[in-house]
């Protein structure tokens, strides 16, 4: 969801990832990095080794659903305009910096047909064990408990199909979040104004 949100996001909706196609062979590489200590001193001879995925390429199929916890943004629910803005942002490489997991892992996005091209695992199936599916945020679920969803993904012919959040059976509570007033529609540009600014016209 982080990549999709970096392309275009508003609190009006929630991104849902339907499936991911792994295009390149899964490889890792280690890099030695000298981290700053807590006092930002550079004179300490410390070295850390980090393991990264290398040369990654994916095809992603996703959709948006309205955030029903934000009733104050009901007037902002115009699917046609949100999709048009998203497509424009995707062609431009995203409205914010795109990165995979951590800030130093820069990502690049472009429009593509989900099934086009040859993938490294088109004839392969794999199990990946238990991994993080996503987080249940109070402003999206209405539940004050922040929790993490876990699942055991399976890749079939290079494609990983994601279950819906409510279909995940392994939920780990993290902590309760103090009740907050999320509703501040006056601080956000409406989809109508954003559409007119970026694309022009009213778009209905």
pTM of the model as a whole:
0.85
pLDDT in tens, 124-176: 999 999 999 999 999 899 899 999 999 999 999 999 999 999 999 999 999 99
What are the structural domains of the chain? 1-32+45-120 (3.30.70.2660), 121-178 (no CATH)
pLDDT in tens, 45-54: 677 888 999 9
| Residue environment code for 4-25, b if the CB has 16+ CB neighbours within 10 A, otherwise e | bebbbbbbbbbbebeebbbbee
Q: Tell me how far apart the alpha carbons of residues 93 and 19 are, in angstroms, rounded to a whole number.
A: 20
């Amino acid at each position: 969801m982080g990549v999709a949100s970096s392309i275009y996001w508003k609190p009006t909706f929630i991104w849902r990832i339907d499936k991911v196609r792994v295009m390149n062979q899964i490889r890792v590489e280690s890099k030695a990095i000298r981290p700053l200590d807590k006092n930002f001193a550079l004179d300490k001879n410390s070295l850390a080794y980090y393991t990264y995925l290398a040369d990654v390429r994916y095809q992603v199929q996703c959709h948006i659903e309205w955030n029903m916890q934000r009733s104050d943004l009901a007037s902002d629910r115009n699917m046609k305009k949100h999709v048009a803005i998203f497509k424009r942002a995707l062609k431009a490489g995203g409205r914010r910096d795109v990165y995979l997991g951590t800030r130093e892992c820069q990502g690049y996005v472009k429009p593509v047909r989900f099934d086009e091209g040859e993938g490294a695992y088109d004839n392969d199936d794999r199990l990946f064990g238990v991994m993080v599916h996503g987080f249940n945020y109070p402003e999206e679920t209405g539940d004050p408990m922040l929790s993490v969803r876990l699942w055991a993904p399976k890749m079939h012919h290079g494609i990983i199909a994601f279950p819906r959040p409510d279909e995940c059976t392994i939920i780990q509570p993290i902590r309760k979040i103090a009740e907050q007033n999320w509703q501040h529609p006056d601080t956000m540009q409406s989809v109508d104004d954003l559409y007119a600014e970026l694309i022009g016209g009213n778009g209905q």
